[in-house]
């Protein structure tokens, strides 16, 4: 039940992000600044210690989760070379507007959204603390996913009806991923490898998308403090859980 509720919250965050993209950008930088800190804290204070603990108890060479982490980071980077995933500036893409690019980007985030929900469920297989921390980070960056999906498609002249359909799919995918996680259980060793892969993926999202968008030229010191607050929040959760 808790996995369903958390993936539902992730879906709601994407819906709010999409609605915000249609009507206002007012709080986007602040939301992204906080989320980037949450993701950084999740990787450094929660996922990596959990991975190393599992590796120690299962006599697993830690190099394999680290290989998976590197693969997750590089795989998303490679994917962006073929499908523009994070660029949302209409000014930058103005000469190249095409609805197919908007659809391709939305399709890419559909898979990423499913993985977000799956990761929440898988993280709870490790422990409640890990699952809670992963859910917080996922819910945080789902707002950015919903916002980016809508903004990118608007910039590429997709019809509003098509945008709403794709946004609906992106919104529902975390729930589907969370439900899928309930039908199988990973072994401890495979769980460590999967968590490594997920850590690499969201670390790339944070470094290539969230932080640059949050700390653009002219952004306030408050954004930096929000990033610190996000990382500190995860630190406190992992220490107190």
Contact between residue 222 and residue 30 where contact means Cβ atoms under 8 Å apart? yes
Q: Residue 138: exposed, middle, or buried by beta-carbon count in 10 A (0-12, 13-18, 19+)?
A: buried
**pLDDT more than 70, % of the chain:** 77
Range with the lowest mean pLDDT among 43-57, 96-110, 181-195?
96-110
Question: Which tens digits make up the pLDDT trace of 68-112?
Answer: 999 989 987 787 676 554 444 444 434 445 566 667 667 767 777
Contact between residue 175 and residue 7 where contact means Cβ atoms under 8 Å apart? yes
- Comparing 67 with 217, the larger pLDDT belongs to 67
The rounded mean pLDDT for the chain is: 78
CA distance 51 to 60: 10
**Residues in the chain, overall count:** 241
CA distance 86 to 77: 11
């Amino acid at each position: 039940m808790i996995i369903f509720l958390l993936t539902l919250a992730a879906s709601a965050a994407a819906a709010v992000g999409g609605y915000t993209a249609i009507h206002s950008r007012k709080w986007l930088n602040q939301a992204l600044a906080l989320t980037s800190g949450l993701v950084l804290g999740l990787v450094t204070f929660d996922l990596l210690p959990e991975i190393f603990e599992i590796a120690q108890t299962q006599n697993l060479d830690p190099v394999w989760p680290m290989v998976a982490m590197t693969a997750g980071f590089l795989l998303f980077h490679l994917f962006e070379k073929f499908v523009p995933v994070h660029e949302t500036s209409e000014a930058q893409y103005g000469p190249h507007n095409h609805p197919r690019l908007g659809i391709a980007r939305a399709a890419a985030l559909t898979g990423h959204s499913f993985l977000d929900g799956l990761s929440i469920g898988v993280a709870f297989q490790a422990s409640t603390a890990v699952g809670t921390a992963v859910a917080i980070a996922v819910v945080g960056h789902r707002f950015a996913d919903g916002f980016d999906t809508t903004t990118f498609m608007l910039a590429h002249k997709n019809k509003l009806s098509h945008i709403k359909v794709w946004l609906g799919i992106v919104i529902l995918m975390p729930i589907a991923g969370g439900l899928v996680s309930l039908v199988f259980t990973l072994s401890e060793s495979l769980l460590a490898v999967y968590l490594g892969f997920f850590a690499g993926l969201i670390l790339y999202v944070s470094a290539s998308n969230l932080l640059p968008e949050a700390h653009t030229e002219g952004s306030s010191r408050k954004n930096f403090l929000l990033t610190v607050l996000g990382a500190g929040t995860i630190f406190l959760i992992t220490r107190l859980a």
